[in-house]
Structure 1
Amino acid sequence: MIINLIDKLGDWNPQLFREIKGRFKGFNVASAVVISLVGQVVLFLCQLANLPGDKYSLIGEYCRLRPAYEYKTNQLSEQSNNLQRQLDSYLNTQPRLPDKIQELKAEIAQIQTKITESNDYLSKNFCPTDQLDMQMWWREHWGYIFFSLSIIFIFTLLVAGTYLLINNLATEERRGTLNFLRLSPQSETSILIGKILGVPILIYLLVFTAVPLHFIAGHGANIATSHILSFWVVLAGSCIFFYSAALLFGLCCRWLNGFQAWFGSGAVLLFLMLTMQLASSESYSLNSSFAWFRLLSPFDMTRHLFPNIFNNGYNWGFMQKFQFFYLPVGTNIGSVMALHLLNYGLWTYWIWQALKRCFRNPSSTIFSKEQSYLFVACFQFVFWGFALQYREGYCHSACEYESPSNVSCCIYDVNSQIQQSLFWLVFFNLVLLFGLIAILSPHRQTIQDWARYRHQNLSSHQNVWRKSLLLDLILGEKSPSFVAIAINLVIVTVPLLVWILLAPVLNVHNTSNIDWQINHVGRLKTVLGVAMFITLMIIYATIAQRMLLMKTTKRSFWAVGTIGAVIFLPPVILGMLSVDSSKYPTVWLFSTFPWASLEYASTPTIFLAWLGELSVLVLLNLHLIKQVRLAGESATKALLAGR
């Protein structure tokens, strides 16, 4: 039976069979099971060490006599405080009443004596065994065991599994066996699924051995089975996402050599620790564009499923107001989990698109240009979906004064909602755009092959060539990237421009929250600022493409260093020279951070600065075109030209 099962497994996925066969040895299996069982016993004994005994305090949490003794203690403390306030009052009044003061001091002394006697009694006497609420103790401590196991499962599966997958790819690359896998008739999907299911197989076994205790602890803590199963569904979704990302990282970051696995798993560990801290904080909120990033971690969903054991201060109101394009997805656990899994599914889909491209051909870009347009559009949909959600803090004083009980008065105050998420919208889009510059910009050999191909097909069909060249720049994988970056920039900035133009109409109750846009800067200046941003980003893309045409093998580092210097050096130098943007706005307009002076510069000056940036962009692209043509010339022509 087992042999037939193994044969069927090998027929279904040969790579999974290969991974399991290499790892499922007797010693490895026994070690994983023993480690899991020993860990469970230690965890259980650690909780059992806190079992209430004969010397349990009368005011302990699980003593049924605690309320009576606490009431008596609180009553004595309150009497003491009241008498002390009366004494202070008499001491500060003129003329003083010595007899009354002495009487109050005597009463305070008597109360203090009673408090001391009560404390002595509580320290020398203990809760009777029959008055211990053991049912409550077991319920709460099963909850602690359940919570501890849940956290251990998350960190073990995601961190250790990520490390093993990246390390496995690095090892196969170093031994040369990964090339054999690329040449095998198996599909990329079959091979990579085999890796995901097979490489962390011992981690799966270690966790699976602890699953019974997890369910027992959950039922002991009165947690619904549906919530426990929901936790496992979310954890499975997070494993698929992180493991897919680990494979992509392992394929694309071979230059890290032996540090790949440590760097990747370390990044996952840091991310999980950060999101766990955010989920545990009292200022818990998902009402911003940062929510999509937090939902990549299972901790927010874990807190929502198990509020009593995750954090006693959990506020259901935060999650109930969680929305996506004003859709109330936080009203029930099912919709929150669906959004959670959809978030995982969307980014896992794009990771697999990249995996399919990179596995067979490691030198290819992660995304094609056509894919990048849809990818950026998906990003904007998610960003703006989480930005547009109602929050009580969006209500302004004018709105509350007009209709303090009318929630709809504030729910459509779109400007405040967008401003709350504006930092994250800008930050994530900048990361996205610079990432696309790195992903879509082909290197020297690719550009050289493309230029030679284009050169050979010029002939007399000049008009047709011009038309096809534009299409090739938009969709071609080997062509320069600046046109594709420009299209992606348009996709990113269109929603922002729409908001800028419609902002006064969207905010009908109060205009103070967009005062900077209407009175301080002005909509026309803001639009020109967006135009300058688009121009600067295309300039950076052009510079990166030019650096990648260099003959040196370190061209990627040259590209990153040059762009970094172009971006940061001008504002740093101006800052060191104490050039104030309010006093010298023109200087800042011609730097790489012109937005600091938009408020202080005139509209014609901003327009001229933008024209200056366009001139620089045109010159850089003319130079790039010349270099691409030179790269595409044949060796024979170069010799005949005497070069």
Structure 2
Amino acid sequence: MKLGWLYPVGDWNPQLLRELKGRLKPRNLIISAAISLLGQFVLYMSYVVQIPQLRADGSLPMSDKYCTGGSEYSYYHKCLADAAGNLLVDWQKWSLDLFLALSLIGIFGLLVAGTYLLINDLAQEERRGTLNFIRLSPQSAQSILLGKILGVPILLYLIAISAVPLHLWSGLAAGIPVGRIFSFDGILGLSCLFFYSLSLLFGLVSSALGGFQAWLGSGTVLGFLWIAAIKPVINNSLDWISIFSPVLILQYLIAATGIESTNSFSYLNIEQLHWFFLPVGLGMVGLGSALILNYSLWTYWCWQALNRRFHNPSKTIFSKRQSYLIVAGVEVTIIGFAFSENYNRLLEDNFGILLLYNFLLFLGLVVALTPQKQALQDWARYRKQRQRKNLLSSSLVRDLIWGEKSPVIVTIALNLAIASTMLVPWIFTQLDGRDWLPALTNLAISASLILVYAAIAQLVVFMRTQKQGLWIIGALAALVILPPVILGLLAIEPSQAPLLWLFTAFPYAAIKYTSISSTFLALLGQFSVLALCTLQISRQVKIAGESASKALLAGTK
């Protein structure tokens, strides 16, 4: 098959041309067309067989979801006939259900299958060794990765495009304005850009997982989208999950028809979605704007990480400067969803979810910001050369705050300060006065625990081993999972031994049973562990600096 018409594409993006030439082959195109047409036919016929029919004796069925009479029960209506005895069918509702089914298949198909294809493609490039050759090309990381996003799922795009006529026809037949249909398609496209960008980032940083990474990534996206699609709005920070799902927009496409579909999403309570008391879920414009802003913001940060990591895999995923902005952005987002005019939930409900978000965020930051062993050795040698200066000099402080090769503990501490500063006003405005002290105590214990985890992760880096990222993740997973599991196996409840539970990743489970003295002992114990880890890190940095300096001097002789 001649693809000469594609060569102008290569002038704009050579990587895209490479991907298209490898995939737009007759066999692949025929298979894709067959999958699309057969899939649409099967879906269409599955709804055709649901159309109510007269019984064998010519009588009317009692009720059906696509009949036009009065409501019998649930979504079923009494069946009626016209003057000629023909069964009256609610074609608008039938078309709407077909449109919604096609839309849901499109959402999950594009996002899950596209995620798998992109991650698997990067894994194959890594195994073949061609990814390093691509990195050496004069193209920018943005051009190469954009070529991947546009080219790798090209057959998936063709399948989706071939379904547009049925998608558009069923939507118009259901009475959905064409503007709303295209708005939904645009938001779906933006969601693809976000999830595909995130998939590329995951593929770049998880190469140690080998062939399993594509299944893990696509499975995670599938689970996340399923949860986001079925989770109702409950006016806490978990509502942030909902605005990552294009499914939310479908409710306002249904509303535009003026009918109630059997696939209605009204139970999601989308109209109750608020952010800092702004009713963003009250209409399609507000909800669509929220989804667009959310996708755009986090797509931007994905690309910041992609630009850093693609040409230099040894770099941290984010710089320390970027981490401060990311933490501030996440805090503003999740705290906005946690505000409620009628706060009547327990501390463990809303505040506990905020703590969980922050705990996961900071575990991710520890992994994303911890420099590799070679980078730490380079920094240690640099510090060794400046050893005549005071250890508390401005250059050292500047390195610890901004330097990408320096240990990560100070940066995590500053990010914890940013997060805590933004959480404290929420505590005082949303919680009852009697909950202020437990909440602040919980915040302090969680922050000190995260610092301990960061210090232990930093020590893991100094181990003489490969795949340090996996070791860091494994160490953090053990610290998070093992203590509560051991206490659970020993049948030690938070109410029985609250002090022990304060040293686990879930201290809020024991806060209400804890005395002031127990809290003080927990903080003292955590700071003692942190101090010991910090001393060990300083010792390791000093040893690394001396070893690197000796090796450098030996090489110059």
Q: Relative to 1, partners in 2 of residues 1:487 and 1:202: Cα closer, same or farther, differing over 3 Å?
A: same
Give the aligned residue type for 2:60.
S
More helix by share: 1
Alpha-carbon distance in structure 2 between the residues aligned to 1:170 and 1:592: 33
Q: 1:365 aligns with which of 316, 323, 338?
A: 316
Match of 1:550 in 2: 463
Q: Is the 8 A contact 1:442 1:480 kept in 2?
A: yes
Q: Is the 8 A contact 2:305 2:318 kept in 1?
A: yes
Match of 2:333 in 1: 382
Give the aligned residue type for 2:214.
A
Match of 2:62 in 1: 59
Give the aligned residue type for 2:62.
I
The Cα of 1:224 is off from its aligned counterpart by: 1.3
The Cα of 1:49 is off from its aligned counterpart by: 3.1
Match of 2:39 in 1: 39
Q: Relative to 1, partners in 2 of residues 1:228 and 1:133: Cα closer, same or farther, differing over 3 Å?
A: farther
- 1:190 correspondence with 2:135: no
- 1:350 correspondence with 2:353: no
The Cα of 1:219 is off from its aligned counterpart by: 1.2
Match of 1:462 in 2: 390
Match of 1:296 in 2: 244
Alpha-carbon distance in structure 2 between the residues aligned to 1:592 and 1:420: 17
The Cα of 1:582 is off from its aligned counterpart by: 5.1
The Cα of 1:462 is off from its aligned counterpart by: 3.3
The Cα of 1:151 is off from its aligned counterpart by: 1.7
When the two chains are superposed, the root-mean-square deviation of aligned CA atoms in Å is: 3.3
Alpha-carbon distance in structure 1 between the residues aligned to 2:105 and 2:262: 17
Alpha-carbon distance in structure 2 between the residues aligned to 1:350 and 1:639: 38
Counterparts of 1:417-456 in structure 2, within 5 Å, are 420-456=349-385
Match of 1:621 in 2: 534
Query: Secondary structure of 1:202's partner?
Result: helix
Q: Is the 8 A contact 2:228 2:241 kept in 1?
A: no
Instruction: String of CA shifts for 1:203-222, please: whole Å, max 9, x gaps.
Output: 11111111011111111111
Structure 2 residue runs of 5 or longer lacking an equivalent are: 73-77
Give the aligned length: 541
Give the aligned residue type for 1:331.
L
Alpha-carbon distance in structure 2 between the residues aligned to 1:421 and 1:63: 44
The Cα of 1:233 is off from its aligned counterpart by: 1.0
Q: 2:177 aligns with which of 219, 224, 244?
A: 224
Give the aligned residue type for 1:552.
T
Q: Relative to 1, partners in 2 of residues 1:310 and 1:21: Cα closer, same or farther, differing over 3 Å?
A: farther
Deviates most, 139-148 or 344-353: 139-148
Match of 2:417 in 1: 490
Deviates most, 377-386 or 269-278: 269-278
Between the aligned residues of both structures, percent identity stands at 45
Instruction: String of CA shifts for 1:24-79, please: whole Å, max 9, x gaps.
Output: 12232233223322322333333333444443525344667x669x8xxxxxxxxx
Alpha-carbon distance in structure 2 between the residues aligned to 1:583 and 1:38: 61
Q: Is the 8 A contact 2:116 2:215 kept in 1?
A: yes
Alpha-carbon distance in structure 2 between the residues aligned to 1:420 and 1:592: 17
The Cα of 1:354 is off from its aligned counterpart by: 0.6
Alpha-carbon distance in structure 2 between the residues aligned to 1:233 and 1:485: 37
Alpha-carbon distance in structure 2 between the residues aligned to 1:146 and 1:552: 54
Give the aligned residue type for 2:238.
F
Q: Relative to 1, partners in 2 of residues 1:376 and 1:417: Cα closer, same or farther, differing over 3 Å?
A: farther
Query: Secondary structure of 1:633's partner?
Result: helix
Instruction: String of CA shifts for 1:294-314, please: whole Å, max 9, x gaps.
Output: 211211222332255665655
Q: 2:443 aligns with which of 530, 535, 557?
A: 530
Alpha-carbon distance in structure 1 between the residues aligned to 2:503 and 2:96: 61
Q: Relative to 1, partners in 2 of residues 1:271 and 1:131: Cα closer, same or farther, differing over 3 Å?
A: farther
Give the aligned residue type for 2:380.
A
Alpha-carbon distance in structure 1 between the residues aligned to 2:317 and 2:305: 5
Alpha-carbon distance in structure 2 between the residues aligned to 1:588 and 1:417: 20
Deviates most, 230-239 or 546-555: 546-555
- 1:21 correspondence with 2:21: yes
- 1:478 correspondence with 2:405: yes
Instruction: String of CA shifts for 1:393-413, please: whole Å, max 9, x gaps.
Output: x3xxxxxxxxxxxxxxxxxx5
Give the aligned residue type for 1:43.
L
Give the aligned residue type for 2:415.
N
The Cα of 1:526 is off from its aligned counterpart by: 4.4
Query: Secondary structure of 1:324's partner?
Result: coil
Q: Relative to 1, partners in 2 of residues 1:418 and 1:214: Cα closer, same or farther, differing over 3 Å?
A: farther
Alpha-carbon distance in structure 1 between the residues aligned to 2:162 and 2:143: 27
Instruction: String of CA shifts for 1:425-444, please: whole Å, max 9, x gaps.
Output: 11111111111111111232
Match of 2:75 in 1: none
Alpha-carbon distance in structure 1 between the residues aligned to 2:505 and 2:212: 34
Alpha-carbon distance in structure 1 between the residues aligned to 2:167 and 2:498: 63
Q: Relative to 1, partners in 2 of residues 1:169 and 1:3: Cα closer, same or farther, differing over 3 Å?
A: closer
Q: Is the 8 A contact 1:303 1:311 kept in 2?
A: no
- 1:323 correspondence with 2:311: no
Alpha-carbon distance in structure 2 between the residues aligned to 1:493 and 1:572: 28
Give the aligned residue type for 1:303.
Q
Alpha-carbon distance in structure 2 between the residues aligned to 1:39 and 1:575: 49
The Cα of 1:144 is off from its aligned counterpart by: 2.5
Q: 1:205 aligns with which of 141, 149, 158?
A: 158
TM-score for both structures, normalised by structure 1: 0.76
TM-score for both structures, normalised by structure 2: 0.87
Q: Is the 8 A contact 1:54 1:126 kept in 2?
A: no
Query: Secondary structure of 2:98's partner?
Result: helix
Give the aligned residue type for 1:462.
N
- 1:132 correspondence with 2:89: no
Alpha-carbon distance in structure 2 between the residues aligned to 1:591 and 1:142: 53
Deviates most, 138-147 or 226-235: 138-147
Instruction: String of CA shifts for 1:127-164, please: whole Å, max 9, x gaps.
Output: 67724354x43322222321221122112211221111
Match of 2:207 in 1: 254
- 1:236 correspondence with 2:189: yes
Match of 1:156 in 2: 109
Instruction: String of CA shifts for 1:375-399, please: whole Å, max 9, x gaps.
Output: 0110001001111144xxx3xxxxx
Q: 2:519 aligns with which of 597, 600, 606?
A: 606
Query: Who wins on radius of gyration, i.e. which is larger?
Result: 1
Deviates most, 579-588 or 205-214: 579-588
Give the aligned residue type for 1:532.
I
Alpha-carbon distance in structure 1 between the residues aligned to 2:230 and 2:41: 27
Instruction: String of CA shifts for 1:567-595, please: whole Å, max 9, x gaps.
Output: 55555555555556556655656777655
Deviates most, 584-593 or 423-432: 584-593
Alpha-carbon distance in structure 1 between the residues aligned to 2:28 and 2:467: 43
Alpha-carbon distance in structure 2 between the residues aligned to 1:332 and 1:567: 41
Q: Is the 8 A contact 1:54 1:128 kept in 2?
A: no
Alpha-carbon distance in structure 2 between the residues aligned to 1:362 and 1:487: 26
Alpha-carbon distance in structure 2 between the residues aligned to 1:440 and 1:571: 26
Counterparts of 1:97-108 in structure 2, within 5 Å, are none
